[in-house]
């Protein structure tokens, strides 16, 4: 199964809820981009307490583009019951293996690690056997709307799939409908999409169309 995961990178509560309501009935998981300026300069709105009041059945996947992810994850874990997965970046200065252990063993969440386009797979070899998901960034993080980096991302996906056959591989950034087939063939099984969904005229229908496209890509 190929899962299309809508991504929320927003600047306000109103925009978070607007986008959530557009997709919540047509997906299982929503990806929340969390930036506090410590890694990439940009910030995003991600108030867990306010989000806890937005009643919904979707699960939340947290993508923490921050240097100190644990306090944010703990707040979400406490206040947002649908928090399901937390993904931290391999590029942080803290020992991300220890952070992943805390996420999985103490908070009982799925734990994933993200790598930027230029980060080699060798940087995560010590945890790749242990994580629930590898998130491969196909754009430089921090903003929606950037273009897919290129064919070397496909090579990185193939290498990760060869390294661990049962690994869940998610790709994030610049994904268009035309890229779903090549990404699937390379070995990705989750695709995180923002602009392709939310910049369309009808995001709800677009998400459904992308999901159908993903199903066909398996044939």
Query: What would the pLDDT profile of 165-184 be if each residue is shown by its tens digit?
Result: 999 999 998 999 999 999 99
Whether the per-residue pLDDT at 150 is higher than 80: the answer is no
In which domain, by residue range, is 187 found?
A: 3-216
Q: Of 140 and 100, which is predicted with more confidence?
A: 100
For the stretch 34-70, pLDDT in tens is: 999 999 889 999 999 999 999 999 999 999 999 999 9
Q: How many domains does the chain have?
A: 1
Question: Residues 6 or more apart from 101 whose CB is under 8 A from it?
Answer: 111
* CATH number reported for the structural domain that contains residue 120 in this entry: 3.20.20.70
pTM exceeds 0.85, yes or no: yes
> Within 10 Å of residue 174's Cβ, how many Cβ atoms?
22
């Amino acid at each position: 199964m190929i899962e299309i995961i809508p991504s929320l990178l927003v600047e306000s509560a109103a925009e978070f809820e607007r986008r959530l309501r557009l997709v919540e009935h047509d997906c299982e998981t929503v990806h929340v981009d969390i930036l506090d300026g410590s890694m990439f300069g940009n910030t995003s709105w991600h108030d867990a307490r306010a989000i806890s009041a937005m009643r919904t059945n979707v699960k939340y996947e947290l993508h923490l583009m921050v240097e100190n992810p644990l306090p944010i994850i703990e707040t979400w874990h406490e206040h947002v019951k649908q928090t399901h997965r937390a993904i931290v970046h391999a590029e942080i200065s803290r020992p991300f293996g220890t952070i992943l252990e805390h996420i999985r063993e103490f908070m009982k969440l799925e734990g994933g690690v993200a790598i930027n386009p230029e980060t080699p797979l060798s940087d995560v070899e010590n945890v790749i056997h242990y994580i629930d998901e590898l998130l491969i960034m196909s754009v430089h993080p921090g903003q929606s709307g950037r273009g897919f980096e290129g064919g070397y991302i496909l090579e990185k996906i193939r290498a990760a799939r060869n390294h661990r056959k049962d690994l869940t591989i998610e790709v994030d950034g610049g994904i268009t409908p035309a890229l779903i087939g090549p990404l699937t063939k390379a070995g990705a099984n989750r695709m995180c999409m923002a602009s392709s969904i939310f910049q369309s005229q009808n995001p709800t229908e677009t998400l459904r169309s992308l999901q159908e496209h993903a199903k066909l890509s398996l044939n």
